[in-house]
A and B are shown apart, each in its own frame.
Chain A
Amino acid sequence: MQRVGKPRIRPWLSLLTIGILILAASLPATGAPPAGAPAELKVGFVDFFSGAAATFGISGKNTAEWLVDKWNKEGGIRGVKVKLVMVDEAGGPDKQVTEFRRLVLDEKVEAVVGYTSSANCLAVAPVAEELKVLTVIHICGTHRLTEDRQIKYVFRTSNSQAADSVMAARYVLAMKPNVKTIAGANEDYAWGRDSWEAFRIAIQRLKPDVKVVAELWTKIQAGEYSAEISKLLAAKPDVIHSSFWGGGLITFVKQGAPRGLLKDSLVFFSTGEQALQDLKKDMPDGVIVAPRATSGYFLHPDPDRNPLQKEFVQGLKARFDRYPDYPAHRTYQALAGLKAAFEKAIDQGGGRWPKNEDVIKAFEGLTWQTPYGLITMRPDHQVVHDGAVGLTKFNAKYGFPTLERLVAVRAAEIMPPVGMKTLDWVAALKK
């Protein structure tokens, strides 16, 4: 009996062991959701779907939809599906504050992601603190968000705008060490003023003999720039700095390029990467363009070697017939950060669904993966990441200009350290 029984039991035992092992290995992917988890994780997503800034917002919205669909197919956040509640950012801060309260108190979202306009992110931040809602700011660039007040529930997953300007100053000096004269063409409001101010101070700190020969201020999205272009052509600056964006930038390039503005001077467009797919052949070669101090670009580091980047670039192209631009990447950064924070909080809490406070704790100091590399959330709720900047060159393969001679700038060179105010830091820049 025993002799017969032994060989019989062994294969069964090993089969059982293998079965348990397979089950255990597949558990994290397909297992039951964490204890206390909601049926779905509701996240508000706010961006411009109408008006002049919709070029940014639609790109962000597309990314958000694509990314969340992908996650949900893969099982969501530890088995909990994500549901996006879309809100249009157009309509002014009072509408945004109303909508934010509705999202939180009526729709009962667990987190809000979004806000492109500085006025809106500044208006919403105190409300997020009041209602104690985890809020991830994805694009808004004003340094006042993280420097003016203590924030606990608000996180920003991208560099502030000073990074663009300082990066531009460093790139310009590397390309043209003997630059003598600079000029600015910016829109007359906080974003344009702050962008130019940081660029001017930074370049004059790094090279004190640089002179400003023209400072031009236009209306937001003016649509007609012939007078400014004439003035810039007459001033003949070595370098022109411009933070024009969206439709205004496209018009400026279309009006300025035929008159040789972009050839006579070295021109820097801080948000230029976003417009390349629309400008196509209208954007001349050799213009300095940055994806607003984003750590990469749809061709950089390298979609062929980097599976996450490849999936992102090809996924968006296939679904929306457009390659990801920087608002797309910033949306990815923000949503991926939120997901990573939830997952870390679940792991730290022993597999239970986390409370708001746990996610916040997990978010501080969190490092997570984005298509262009790892980024880390600092304790002051501000992400600091590398920047990329390059020169335009028409690319027949894509049908629009891509970036050549790309330079990646280290985070520490373009953003102030924790606890230091941006303006103090720019004013004390050293080579």
Chain B
Amino acid sequence: MEAKRLPLAPLVGAALLVAVPIVLPDWMKFIVTLAMAKFMAVLSVALFLRANQVTFGHAMFYAVGAYTVGFGAKWFGVRDAVLLVPLGALFGAAVAALVGLVMARYREVFFAMLNLAFSMMLYGAFLKLYWVTGGTDGLSAGIPKFLGYAPSREYLRDFLYYTALGVTGVVIYAVYRFLASPLGFYLKAMADNEIRIEYSGESVRHVMYVTYVLSGALGGVGGVLAAFTVGHIVPEYSFWIQSGEFVFVALLGGYGSAVGPLVGSIAFEFIRTYASKYFPNEWQMVLGIIMLAIILFRPGGLWTIYEGIAARFGRREREVERA
């Protein structure tokens, strides 16, 4: 019965996102583009939250993606977004494959802090090698091309938006498939009992490692898109505050599904912007209060609001069927 019915809410959501550039003013289009870019990095954090693991260092993959764009433009003159998105994923995954060799062995506070340590090492490198990276001044991302085509300024933002939307769709589908796979279920099972996973014949370290590499690729893609959206790359991309923001947004949106982080990212960017608008001096405090409210009243994140509504409707429908 369920399989035949088309999932209505995701379709409505997708339709809304497709319509954003047509309906909403330009600056909101920008915010949603940036939110989609950051969503991928948030998703990389959310994967581990499912396994009850917090990471305060996942901004490092985001930074790897962003600097892929910066160095691509600076050294090779490569500015093609269609080329750089997979390249960012590749570099993110490569760094994750290396760091993950260590990380897959650790859990909980050690996992959180070691991630932080690695990301801060990367931050330090971007800061110190300033004749290569431009130090705090950073690098310019340049104006992106799309398969060799350079759109005019009027349409550049639309191109970026739909590129980000397309990648978001692919990412949500890929992560959805991953979470629905045995490995994805093992990841969730880690939160309950690791020993059982080992008994059932799967290696927890393997689950961790594969997830880690996947999260690296996600962060890398997010970094590439964010670099093009913002246009400027600075070491702060890998700073711990950025990692903290990803955790914050994952909790805000909810990590129970692949869509929760997207909701969280879009909500976060708008909350931050409006907080700055109406409370230019206290915008950080507003963010803190909202986070507090979410943790107290909606510990599963904003996404659970939707899930609650959907469940209520679902129950009613099921009751009707039963009757």
Contacts and interface: CB of A to CB of B under 8 A. Distances in A.
Contacts of B136: 117-119, 189-191
B153 A105 contact: no
A394 B31 CA distance: 51
Interface stretch (B42-50, B100-108, B248-256, B270-278): B270-278
Interface string B103-139: 0000000000000000000000001101000111110
Nearest to B281: A49
Given A88-B283, A105-B27, A123-B230, 10 more contacts: A86-B281, A87-B276, A91-B272, A92-B242, A93-B236, A94-B34, A98-B30, A99-B273, A122-B138, A190-B136
B232 interface: yes
B198 interface: no
Interface residues of B, number: 34
B140 interface: yes
Contacts, number: 100
A97 interface: yes
Contacts of A189: 127, 130, 135-136
A88 B231 contact: no
A405 B13 CA distance: 69
Interface string B226-259: 1001111010100000100000000000000000
A157 B60 CA distance: 36
B137 A190 contact: yes
A49 B27 contact: no
SS class of chain B's interface: helix, strand, loop or mixed? helix
A7 B221 CA distance: 91
Contacts of A95: 272, 276
B226 A88 contact: no
Interface in A347-388: none
Nearest to B231: A126
Interface of A: 49-50, 86-88, 90-95, 97-99, 101-102, 104-107, 117-119, 122-123, 126-127, 130, 142, 144, 148-149, 188-191, 193
B281 A88 contact: yes
Contacts of A118: 136-137
A133 to B, nearest CB: 12
A99 B138 contact: no
Contacts of A50: 281, 284
Contacts of A86: 280-281
B26 interface: yes
10 shortest interchain CB distances as A-B pairs: A123-B232, A190-B135, A105-B27, A101-B27, A189-B136, A190-B137, A86-B280, A94-B230, A190-B136, A119-B234
Interface string B137-178: 110100000000000010010000000000000000000000
A102 B284 contact: no
A98 B135 contact: no
A101 B137 CA distance: 21
A96 to B, nearest CB: 9
Of residues A94, A102, A149, which shows the largest number of chain B Cβ atoms within 10 Å of its Cβ? A94
Contact of B234 (A93, A107, A149): A93
A123 B231 contact: yes
Contacts of A87: 276, 280
A88 B280 contact: yes
Interface in B280-311: 280-281, 283-284
Contacts of B231: 97, 123, 126-127
B281 A93 contact: no
B194 interface: no
B62 to A, nearest CB: 11
Nearest to B239: A92
Contacts of B281: 49-50, 86, 88
A91 B280 CA distance: 12
A97 to B, nearest CB: 5
A87 B272 CA distance: 12
20 contacts: A50-B281, A88-B276, A91-B276, A93-B236, A95-B272, A97-B232, A99-B273, A99-B276, A101-B27, A102-B27, A105-B26, A106-B277, A107-B277, A118-B137, A119-B136, A119-B234, A126-B231, A190-B134, A190-B137, A193-B130
A329 B30 CA distance: 34
A155 B229 CA distance: 23
B232 A119 contact: yes
A101 B130 CA distance: 29
B262 to A, nearest CB: 17
B232 A126 contact: yes
B196 to A, nearest CB: 42
A196 B296 CA distance: 50
A340 B273 CA distance: 32
A363 to B, nearest CB: 22
A335 B30 CA distance: 28
Nearest to A46: B280
A40 to B, nearest CB: 18
Contact of A98 (B31, B128, B153): B31
A188 B235 CA distance: 13
B273 A102 contact: yes
Contacts of A188: 127-128
A193 B272 CA distance: 33
Given A49-B280, A94-B230, A122 B137 contact: yes
Contacts of B30: 97-98, 101
A142 B276 contact: no
Contacts of B229: 94
Nearest to B30: A101
Contacts of B153: 130
A271 to B, nearest CB: 16
Contacts of A93: 138, 230, 232, 234, 236
Nearest to B226: A94
B202 interface: no
A148 B232 CA distance: 14
A151 to B, nearest CB: 13
B80 interface: no
